[in-house]
């Protein structure tokens, strides 16, 4: 079994899609040790409860520095013998201590065809661009914002009358298949 930790800051639909594939036996060699979140009210916490999964809540504002905040995370990761970190809507840059400890063993999913539309509101950026195609990218994490080596991308259409939630829904539908597939290939 390979032990992974999933980091999320928001709704956690990607986190849940991974948990659900595991439950269905589609990722037979993956064990999720815990959900890690930096947001005390995030909906991903409710989803974790459904799967009886431990949750580590760690808010940056309760620490003197980002380094201290990440030291706490590393303590938990070490005690759970976590081998890989999977970011699923985790809205913080990973700092140098975690990067060093998990070199090439951190994955992220981002809702654009990188290198296009890095950072915040990638879906809004794609809509505003006039592009007719966008999608999602799974990549390794490095010290930049959505700059790490690309592993796999999947695309979808942007229709002229799309609003942000239409497009977000279409992208998430892709992500819920893409991310577990990449985890299966890269981590198993």
Active site residue 110: yes
Span interacting with ligand GAR, options 60-68, 75-83, 109-117, 149-157, rule CB under 6 A: 109-117
Extract the annotated binding site: 12-14, 66, 91-94, 108
Span interacting with ligand GAR, options 8-16, 31-39, 46-54, 70-78, rule CB under 6 A: 8-16
- Give residues 22-81 in contact with ligand GAR (rule: CB under 6 A): none
Whichever of 3 and 118 has its CB closer to ligand GAR, that residue is 118
Does 10 help bind ligand GAR (rule: CB under 6 A)? yes
Q: Report the residue from 38, 70, 80, 146 that binds ligand GAR according to the rule CB under 6 A.
A: 146
Write a three-state SS string for the chain.
Answer: CEEEEEEECCCCHHHHHHHHHHHCCCCCCEEEEEEEECCCCCHHHHHHHHCCCEEEECCHHHCCCHHHHHHHHHHHHHHCCCCEEEECCCCCCCCHHHHHHCCCCEEEEECCCCCCCCCCCHHHHHHHHCCCEEEEEEEECCCCCCCCCEEEEEEEECCCCCCHHHHHHHHHHHHHHHHHHHHHHHCC
Which residues of the shown chain bind ligand GAR in the complex (CB under 6 A)?
Answer: 8, 10-15, 88-89, 109-111, 122, 136, 146, 171-172, 175
């Amino acid at each position: 079994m390979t032990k992974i930790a999933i980091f999320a800051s928001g709704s956690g639909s990607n986190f849940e899609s991974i948990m659900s594939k595991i439950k269905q036996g589609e990722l037979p060699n993956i064990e999720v040790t815990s959900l890690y979140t930096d947001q005390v009210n995030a909906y991903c916490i409710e989803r974790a409860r459904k799967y009886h999964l431990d949750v580590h809540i760690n808010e940056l504002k309760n620490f003197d520095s980002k380094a201290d905040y990440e030291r706490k995370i590393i303590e938990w990761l070490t005690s759970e013998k976590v081998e890989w970190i999977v970011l699923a809507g985790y809205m913080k840059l990973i700092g140098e201590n975690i990067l060093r400890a998990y070199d090439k063993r951190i994955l992220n999913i981002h809702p654009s065809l990188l290198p296009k539309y890095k950072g915040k509101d990638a879906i809004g950026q794609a809509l505003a661009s006039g592009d007719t195609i966008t999608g999602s990218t799974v990549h390794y994490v490095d010290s930049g914002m959505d700059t790490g080596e690309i592993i796999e991308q999947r695309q979808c259409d942007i229709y002229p009358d799309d609003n942000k939630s239409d497009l977000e829904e279409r992208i998430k539908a892709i992500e819920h298949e893409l991310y577990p597939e990449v985890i299966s290939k890269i981590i198993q």
